[in-house]
Amino acid sequence: MQTPRLTVQVGRLAGAVFVPLLLMSSARVARAQTSATTTRDGWVTGALVGRIRVADVPDGHGTAIGLGATRFTPQRPGVDLAVVTIPRLFRDGQIPVHARMGVAVPLQLGDAFFLVPTVGVDAAGLAGESAGGWVGYHWAARALFATRRLGLQAGVVRVRAVNAPNALWLAELGLMRVPLPGPPRPRPASPVPGEI
């Protein structure tokens, strides 16, 4: 079975963009953890639009729209949620819904630039003339550029349904509302064994 040229190109592009960013981030993350006087702490929410492609399926592509939300604190894990649909299928009498839930760890690469890797689980359903559904898992890498309360997000998501022969790729852009920078919030202290 041959891999489609577009899938190979998306994979190469993701590797060319995100691998150097991950390598550069190690020094910046260490510096940001020690010298941060302000941080963004809260929910990143907004509208998503993207291009979806099913690997090895010639006509398995379309435009996806949806909503996304991430519990955002740099260098700390947070919840990552998204719900998307494919409007092209509406005219065929179908209503597809794809939900993602996972864990994101935002890495601060600069004052306004973040890399947000995520992993998680997926569920999708189809209502209308034909019904069906599946569950699966995903990994994703996104870049977020934030200024005051507005952010621009770009990334790639790879989704795999359980027992499915094909992977699904989603390249998406998002216009996001981000939390304002502020002083880091104190975290509750962990109890010391023996002092409880």
The domain in which residue 142 lies consists of 5-180
Query: Does 42 reside within a domain?
Result: yes
pTM for the model stands at 0.70
Alpha carbon 146 to chain centroid, angstroms: 16
Query: Does 189 reside within a domain?
Result: no
Quote the number of domains for the chain: 1
Is residue 110 classed as helix, strand or coil in its secondary structure? coil
Give the CA count within 13 Å in the CB-facing half-sphere of 33: 10
> In CATH, what number is assigned to the domain containing residue 95?
2.40.160.20
Query: Does 19 reside within a domain?
Result: yes
pLDDT digits (tens, 9 = 90+) for 110-141: 888 999 999 999 998 887 766 778 899 999 99
Closest CA to 164 of 126, 124, 192: 124
What confidence score (pLDDT) does residue 140 get? 95
What confidence score (pLDDT) does residue 192 get? 64
pLDDT digits (tens, 9 = 90+) for 86-114: 888 787 778 889 999 999 999 989 888 99
For 15-75, where are the E strands, in sequence order?
Answer: 39-40, 42-54, 61-72
Closest CA to 124 of 89, 88, 95: 95
